[in-house]
Amino acid sequence: MGKLFGTDGIRGVANQYPITCEIALKTGQAVGVFTKENGYQTVIIGKDTRISGDMLESALAAGVSSTGIDVLLAGVIPTPGVAYLCSTVKGAGAGIVISASHNPYQDNGIKIFKHGGEKLSDEQENKIEDYILNSNIVPRGNVGKMAVISDSLERYSGFLLAKFPFKKLDKKLKLMIDSSNGAASKIAHMVFNDKLFDARFIYDSPDGKNINDDCGSQHTQELQRLVVKEKADIGLAFDGDADRFIAVDENGTEITGDRVLAVCAKFAKERGILNKNIVVSTIMSNIGLGKTLDSLGIGHIKSNVGDRKVLEEMKRSGAVIGGEDSGHMIFLNDHTTGDGMLSALKLLEVMMETGRSLSSLASVMTVYPQVLMNVKMDKSRPDFMKIKPIADTIKTVEKKLGDAGRVLIRYSGTQPLLRVMVEGPDQSQVEKYCQDICKSIKENI
């Protein structure tokens, strides 16, 4: 991991290093040079609804244009919408998304796509980071133009819906949709429109500061309540930049990414479209996903955490379905990156084609009790397994769990946190084990 880039771009508190106008300007210049070196002429910039988005957009756009590369501003649009535009706009050599995903509004981030709509490789990130930090790279000559893509949402929603020629049902599915006051706020109305669905929308009035504020994929309590109250067939909760989603079944039960992967993989196999008969998830996936895929005769590969790592493993193995329990799912036959709206449409397709409720479909997978706790850290990231009291606590828990569970501890790639995950057959036992490990970490780091 570099000095700037984490698991998903550059991220931090807006107006504090590294999410400053100065770094944004240099990042724009670096992306402009990168684009020029690869023989393209245009960079597309999109953003979510954070109040700091306009500030960073201006700095990034100025940086790009100072290298002689043109800028197209897509406005507020989901992250995968920028990826789509990168693959369809003539001359587009890169796309920049200004978003901190599911983080609170005070944070922001910079994500970069290359031509074709894929995220950068590690090598390409390192090259751009080197340009930002170490090089005086701006050529002194022509200046690029700036323009606005006025129909970016129309293009992107059209792309999504063209993939789903939904059959007409006697009764439309009733949807409850939480847009997290983020990038999905407007386009959700276009995708889940009243010609196809009976949809109700909540948290779709962004004011720059209410993005992810007790809503969206990280906070589904209100959505769960309303799904039951309104007798909806399903609830869909997106995160701030709509590259992931979490479902809620008709009983108000949260259905996370692992169960959606299981449902969609089973459906794809039955239809003969699960290429290589493989699903890719991450090391954070629930034990139940692996057991379910095994029972269905589907191969299962685990990657490191992060959608880029999932995508790398999918391309290596030939898999076409992969994702994370957080709701970040990739359907490679349909898009180049994780897409919350596309994933939601995939799940709706299964419901409409089978005529089954979400709770019935999701019962294909038994979820093992899993507890995830975060320990706040300073900027240091010591090797906790070299600290004997912590290592001893972890080994004791692992011995008690045996083959019936597991412990996974990792530093967050986007926040100053050490994430402790314990999984096993008993909820109260798992909670106690997780608390024991967190206590040891706090006492010894």
Predicted pLDDT of residue 325: 94
Cβ neighbours for 366, distance < 8 A, ≥ 6 positions apart:
288, 291, 292
Predicted pLDDT of residue 134: 83
- Asked about 101 being catalytic, the answer comes back as yes
Average pLDDT, rounded, for the chain:
95
- Selected catalytic residue, list 65, 99, 101, 217: 101
CA distances from 420 to 89, 228, 383 (A): 42, 32, 14
Residues 46 and 77 sit within 8 Å (Cβ to Cβ): yes
Residues 39 and 92 sit within 8 Å (Cβ to Cβ): no
SS3 383: coil
pLDDT band at 139 (very low <50, low <70, confident <90, very high): confident
Q: How many Å apart are CA 311 and CA 146, to the nearest integer?
A: 32
Predicted pLDDT of residue 404: 85
Predicted pLDDT of residue 314: 97
Choosing among 2.60.420.10, 3.40.50.720, 3.30.310.50, 3.90.1150.10, the CATH entry for 370-444 is 3.30.310.50
* Token pair in block for residue 100: 């901190």
pLDDT band at 90 (very low <50, low <70, confident <90, very high): very high
What pLDDT, in 10s, does the model give residues 280-308?
A: 999 989 989 999 999 999 999 999 988 88
Report percent pLDDT > 90 for the chain. 88
What pLDDT, in 10s, does the model give residues 199-221?
A: 999 999 999 999 999 999 999 99
Predicted pLDDT of residue 1: 41
**Sequence letter at residue 136:** N
DSSP string covering 86-110, please? HHHSTTEEEEEEE--TTS-TTEEEE
360-366 average pLDDT score: 97
Q: What top-level class would CATH report for the domain 255-340+356-362?
A: alpha beta
158-240: CATH topology? Alpha-D-Glucose-1,6-Bisphosphate; Chain A, domain 3 (3.40.120)
Whether 255-340+356-362 and 5-150 are alike in CATH topology: the answer is yes
Q: How many Å apart are CA 137 and CA 417, to the nearest integer?
A: 34
Residues 276 and 317 sit within 8 Å (Cβ to Cβ): yes
Predicted pLDDT of residue 197: 95
**Sequence letter at residue 238:** F
Over 80: is that where the pLDDT of 2 sits?
no
pLDDT band at 143 (very low <50, low <70, confident <90, very high): very high
Over 90: is that where the pLDDT of 415 sits?
no
Over 60: is that where the pLDDT of 29 sits?
yes
Predicted pLDDT of residue 109: 98
What pLDDT, in 10s, does the model give residues 92-133?
A: 999 999 999 999 999 999 999 999 999 999 899 999 999 999
Annotated domain spans of the chain: 5-150, 158-240, 255-340+356-362, 370-444
CA distances from 283 to 69, 280, 311 (A): 40, 10, 14
Helices and strands (DSSP H and E) totals, the chain? 14, 19
Cβ neighbours for 135, distance < 8 A, ≥ 6 positions apart:
none
Over 90: is that where the pLDDT of 231 sits?
yes
Report percent pLDDT > 70 for the chain. 99
Residue 60: φ, ψ to 5°: -60, -45
Looking at residue 406, what DSSP letter applies?
E
Over 60: is that where the pLDDT of 364 sits?
yes
Predicted pLDDT of residue 166: 78
What pLDDT, in 10s, does the model give residues 232-290?
A: 999 999 999 999 999 999 999 999 999 999 999 999 999 999 999 999 999 989 989 99
Question: In which element (H, E) is residue 225 found?
Answer: helix 221-229
377-398 average pLDDT score: 92
Q: How many Å apart are CA 64 and CA 365, to the nearest integer?
A: 47
Return the number of other C-beta atoms located less than 10 Å from residue 268's C-beta.
21
Over 90: is that where the pLDDT of 400 sits?
yes
Predicted pLDDT of residue 225: 98
* Token pair in block for residue 308: 């880029």
Choosing among 3.40.50.720, 3.40.120.10, 3.40.630.30, 3.30.870.10, the CATH entry for 5-150 is 3.40.120.10
357-371 average pLDDT score: 95
Over 90: is that where the pLDDT of 378 sits?
no
Residues 334 and 83 sit within 8 Å (Cβ to Cβ): no
CA distances from 201 to 85, 101, 174, 204, 416 (A): 26, 20, 11, 7, 33
